[in-house]
Amino acid sequence: MMAVGNLRNAQLIINLKAIYSNIKHAKERLDPDTALFQVIKADGYGHGAIAVAKVAERAGASGFCVAILDEALELRQAGITKPILVLGITDPELAQVAANQNISLTVGSSAWLNRAGQLLQNSQLDGKLNVHLALDTGMGRIGFQTADELEEALGVLKQHPSTMNFEGIFTHFATADSPDDSYFKFQYQNFQDFMAVVKNKPKYIHVANSATSLWHKVCGGNMIRLGISAYGLNPSGGEIAKLPYELQPALSFTTEIDFVKYVKKGRSIGYGATYTADSDQWIGTVPVGYADGVPRAMQGFSVLVDGHKCPIVGRVCMDQFMIRLPKNYSYGTKVTIIGKSGDLEITADDVADYLKTISYEVICGFSSRIRRKYL
């Protein structure tokens, strides 16, 4: 693990009040009997899993979703006692670990259930293993593909009543953030066809992610998995601008100028000499780079200094990048990579659009070397 740059003026500033507000708004739109599980995989989408979990609890979250078992164990070790669901596939050899920590696991095959059932039968358990059956209704990632496969799995679960508990069933929509809802409807019909063979419904039925909860009124579920919108970002980027409530972005990224020089016309900057000054100009160096999560492809993107747009000139280095300044600025002048400066603002979506990706990748890409500062 990288050393955290506590002695360097570069930080992700996380506004916990914004996260609280976003979750609270999502919670208020739900039926009283619908649970909200906050998704805090990938270190809370880069915001810090434990800090987000604690504020989510205060905002009314009933439980949490993570991607891998290690993330769930981190929460347990931090004293989080609410339900936790691992959304990815976990090795059945680890079923006992999950059961003893009251961590629910996702299952997508009868073979997994059979193997876990054998292992649990011969284990010392503090309780049953809670399982959620994943249904592949069109995402094409994990899960049962046919109702027959699902029926077989339900039969296997009945063979292990003392060690496994059928706690939940779910699917994931591939296009819930698209204005065209035809594929969404196709998937939802598939989900209903699956559910027709489930005679005894589990505690949790969940189909809604952030996008689904914002733009689709889906029947038949009693739990949502709230992801990106809790962090104040639109799941669709800018494809669907209309939102039922205002999302408050929780993350900003600031650092400083740590070196300034006056460069004469014709001088080149950075690896590969990809930028050559077309006039005499002030160039500032900024002490973060692609090892911190500022991609090399950010060359040409503008950051903010003193309310001015300042383009990144030359290639982003591993630990530094250079910017063209409108005038001479002193050492320590604030640089905003995501956030507000004067009348201007850069959002994670702005960065994502420049990189031809999505805001999820941008915020999950910040490395552990950047300290997190909580407000």
Alpha-carbon distance of 91 to 126, in angstroms, equals 19
167 closest CA partner among 137, 199, 128, 193:
128
Catalytic residue among 20, 41, 204, 329: 41
- Contact between 11 and 255 under an 8 Å Cβ cutoff? The reply is yes
Does the annotation count 41 as an active-site position?
yes
164 known ligand binder: no
Q: Which residue intervals of the chain are DSSP H helices?
A: 16-28, 41-45, 49-59, 69-77, 95-100, 110-121, 147-158, 182-195, 210-215, 348-355, 359-364
Amino acid at the residue 249: P
Q: State the catalytic residue, choosing from 158, 185, 262, 271.
A: 271
In the residue annotation, 54 being an active-site residue is answered as no
Give the angle 57-347-312 at the CA atoms, nearest 5°. Answer: 135
Helix extents (H) in 222-373: 348-355, 359-364
Whether 285 and 262 have beta carbons less than 8 Å apart is answered as no
90: nearest Cα among 42, 136, 39, 129: 129
Shortest CA distance to 320 belongs to which of 294, 341, 302, 352?
Answer: 294
2 marked among binding-site residues? no
CB-based contact 348:330 (threshold 8 Å):
no
Instruction: Kindly report the backbone phi and psi dihedral angles of residue 168, in degrees, each rounded to the nearest multiple of 5, phi listed first.
Output: -155, 165
> What radius of gyration do the chain's Cα atoms show?
24
Q: Are 135 and 169 in contact (CB under 8 A)?
A: yes
By the 10 Å C-beta count (0-12 exposed, 13-18 middle, 19+ buried), 24 is classed as middle
Active site residues: 41, 271
Annotated binding-site positions for substrate: 141, 318
Annotated binding-site positions: 141, 318
